[in-house]
Structure formats: structure tokens, C-alpha cells
Amino acid sequence: MADSSLNMRFKAKGMELSSALKEYFIGKIDKLEHKGLVEWIDVEFGQTIAHRGVADDFYVRVLLKMPKAYVRVKKSGDDIYALVDEVVDILVQKVNQYFSKLAEQPKVPEKLIVLQDQEDFSNDVAKYLDYEVRVRRKELKEMAPMTVQEAVVHLELLGLPAFIFRNVEDGNSVQMLYKDGTEYVLVVPPKV
């Protein structure tokens, strides 16, 4: 029997959420180590109606919250059950990577700020016909200082191309970029 003691929230877009699919996900997520440290897991299954009949009909999006860290994975394809397998494998890998890096580095930031909106951006082409640029200003109130190595770990866990943090070495706010899937770039302010 699968461990359903984890706080999981399921939703579906463009498809019906079956209990068989939920149970399949719960059974697969049971192999996740460190389950006691997982605060919650949001799971979204979806079928892109505009693309029905093409290779990437379905997607699985998961956001996992642990103390001081988020892990986000999204995959799309034509077999929803194969996507669940792939997403869970990536989650297990990222969570294990996080804890192995955490064991190597005793200092963990007190707070982690994730700079991303919670809006849902669908693949609806009609939304972009009258496209106009909107710039949203977001003020950073608090940032926990962290090392460059800790920033790389958080960047990988979040699956984002960029991450802003306060560097422990000099106290400046800097940006870490993951460029072309091959290298990390640290963007620092000019020296005055």
C-alpha cells in the first residue's frame, strides 16, 4: 500500500483527474527518501487541448516544498503514466542531490525567496495576438545570505535559469545564471 501521509494536492487541467492516476502517482512518490521533511506536494496533470493529437499532449507539473527549499519539475509527452515515472525520478534525484549538498555544507540560509509569479500561463495562442510588454516590479525585502555553491544548489532544485541572492563573501545582491545548460555565470555589480 502506498504511503499517503504526505500532504499532496492534485488538480487537472483539460482532462479528468482519475483516482487511478492519483494512486499511481502516490505509489511512485513512495520511493522518495526524506519524506518526513516534505511539507507539501502540488501535482498538476494536464492535457493541452490546442495540441490534441500531437506528441506532447499531456504534461505533469510538480512543486515540492521542503524547509528552506522548493523543487519544481515539469515534463510533457504523449503518455501520462510515463511522465509520472519521469517526473518522480527527477524529483528523487533533485531531493537526494539537495540533501547530499546540504550534508557537505553545514551553513543553510535561513530564508529562501523564490522570484516567480504564481500565475498560470497556458498555451492559449489567442492571448498573445495583442501582446504588449508588461513589466512587474518586485521589491526584495529580505534575502538570506548564501554562498555561491548554495545558490547553485537552489538554482538546480528550482529548475530556473536565474536566481538572485545576497553573496556571503561581499554582501552584494548578485544573480546566478544557468547558461545554455553548460555553465553557471555569476553576475556581480561593478566595483566602485
Based on the fold, state whether residues 1 and 95 are members of the same structural domain.
yes
| CA-closest candidate to residue 17, choices 40, 49, 53, 45 | 45
Based on the fold, state whether residues 163 and 119 are members of the same structural domain.
yes
Name the band, by pLDDT with cuts 50, 70 and 90, for residue 162: confident
Sign of CA dihedral 54, 55, 57, 61: negative
Which long-range contacts does 146-153 make (Cβ < 8 Å, 24+ apart)?
Answer: 146/107, 146/109, 147/105, 147/107, 148/176, 148/186, 149/101, 149/105, 150/101, 150/105, 150/107, 150/108, 150/109, 151/176, 152/176, 152/184, 153/97, 153/98, 153/101, 153/102
Q: Out of 10-14, 16-20, 30-34, 59-63, pick the least confident.
A: 30-34
CA distance 176 to 148: 8
Name the band, by pLDDT with cuts 50, 70 and 90, for residue 102: low
Based on the fold, state whether residues 95 and 113 are members of the same structural domain.
no
Say yes or no to pLDDT of 116 above 60. Answer: no
Number of structural domains (the chain) is: 2
Based on the fold, state whether residues 144 and 51 are members of the same structural domain.
no
Query: Which of 66, 89, 104 lies at the terminal end of a domain, its last residue?
Result: 104
Based on the fold, state whether residues 78 and 148 are members of the same structural domain.
no
Phi, psi of 160 (to 5 degrees): -100, 155
Q: Kindly report the pTM of this predicted structure.
A: 0.55
Query: Which of 104, 129, 152 lies at the terminal end of a domain, its last residue?
Result: 104
Coil vs helix vs strand at 173 = strand
| CA-closest candidate to residue 175, choices 188, 156, 184, 192 | 188
Based on the fold, state whether residues 56 and 130 are members of the same structural domain.
no
Task: Provide the residue range defining the domain that includes 179.
Answer: 109-192
Based on the fold, state whether residues 67 and 152 are members of the same structural domain.
no
Q: Report CA 142 to chain centroid distance, whole Å.
A: 21
CA distance 69 to 39: 10
Based on the fold, state whether residues 71 and 88 are members of the same structural domain.
yes
